């Protein structure tokens, strides 16, 4: 489910490296689990930051990409997600995401019909690398059952927010239960999405 994304332009984002040098990310770069994605958190809702795609737990002694998706049905009953829901919410900004359908043997690109960025509800945390003592910000995309359009190519989809709904998802005055109920009450409509086939995709690569 959603193992590759198109980040799109990030004109408002400046990345500071470990050596203090600053640079802007490449426009329209693709990302996979483990990549850095543009994120806005409830802790800093007015700033776009770079978070690693794939949450890590305090028990993890090495970096992995196992926890890249959080099923909305499990936010309140799975240990890792339950610890973060209601406390550390974020929005991941993407231009598109890709789904490979084994039955069709095709890779599909999913984006908004209006060409605007997508805003995906997510959870975030900060992981301490015990080998380097470096703090690593991480995030996971929340997924939900597909709408009618996505159901034709996959059995899950990212939880896509309208721009006007971002403040509600990041509102610290709402409980985790209230925010999850909000997501479920406003699913992304099929008419919002444009689905095309990536013609140059080689399934054997």
Please give the C-alpha separations between residue 136 and each of 13, 26, 51, 100, in angstroms, as whole numbers: 18, 21, 8, 29
Q: Which residues are paired to 197 by β-bridges?
A: 108
Cβ contact 143:159 at 8 Å: yes
Give the pLDDT of residue 143.
Answer: 97
Q: 0.85 exceeded by the pTM? A: yes
Do the bridges between strand 36-41 and strand 118-129 make them parallel or antiparallel, or are there none, so unpaired? unpaired
Q: What is the pLDDT of residues 139-168, one digit of tens each?
A: 999 999 999 999 999 999 999 999 999 999
Cβ contact 63:51 at 8 Å: no
Q: Extract the tokens encoding 184.
A: 């479920």
Query: What's the pLDDT band for 21 if we cut at 50, 70, 90?
Result: low
Q: Which residues are paired to 11 by β-bridges?
A: none
Q: Which domains does the chain have, with CATH numbers?
A: 4-197 (3.90.1680.10)
Q: Extract the tokens encoding 3.
A: 């193992």
Query: What's the pLDDT band for 39 if we cut at 50, 70, 90?
Result: very high
Query: What's the pLDDT band for 202 if we cut at 50, 70, 90?
Result: low
Torsion of CA 86, 182, 52, 16, to 10 degrees: -90
Largest CA distance in the chain: 48
Cβ contact 177:76 at 8 Å: yes
Give the residue from 73, 71, 187 showing the smallest Cα distance to 140: 71
pLDDT at 71 over 50: yes
Average pLDDT over residues 67-75: 96
Alpha-carbon span 127 to 151, nearest angstrom: 34
Alpha-carbon span 49 to 44, nearest angstrom: 9
Half-sphere exposure of 146 (CA within 13 A, CB side): 15
């Amino acid at each position: 489910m959603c193992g590759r994304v198109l980040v799109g332009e990030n004109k408002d984002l400046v990345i500071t490296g470990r050596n203090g040098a600053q640079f802007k990310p490449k426009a329209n770069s693709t990302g996979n689990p483990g990549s850095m994605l543009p994120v806005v958190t409830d802790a800093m809702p007015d700033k776009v930051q770079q978070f690693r795609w794939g949450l890590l737990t305090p028990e993890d002694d090495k970096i992995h990409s196992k926890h890249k998706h959080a099923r909305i049905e499990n936010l309140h009953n799975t240990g890792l997600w339950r610890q973060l829901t209601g406390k550390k919410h974020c929005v991941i900004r993407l231009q598109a995401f890709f789904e490979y359908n084994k039955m069709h043997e095709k890779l599909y690109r999913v984006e908004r019909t209006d060409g605007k960025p997508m805003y995906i509800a997510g959870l975030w945390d900060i992981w301490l690398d015990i080998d380097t003592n470096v703090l690593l910000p991480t995030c996971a995309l929340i997924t939900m059952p597909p709408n009618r359009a996505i159901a034709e190519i996959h059995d899950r989809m990212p939880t896509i927010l309208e721009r006007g709904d971002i403040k509600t998802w990041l509102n610290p005055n709402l409980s985790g239960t209230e925010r999850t109920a909000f997501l479920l009450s406003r699913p992304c409509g099929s008419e919002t999405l444009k689905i095309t086939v990536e013609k140059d995709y080689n399934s054997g690569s």
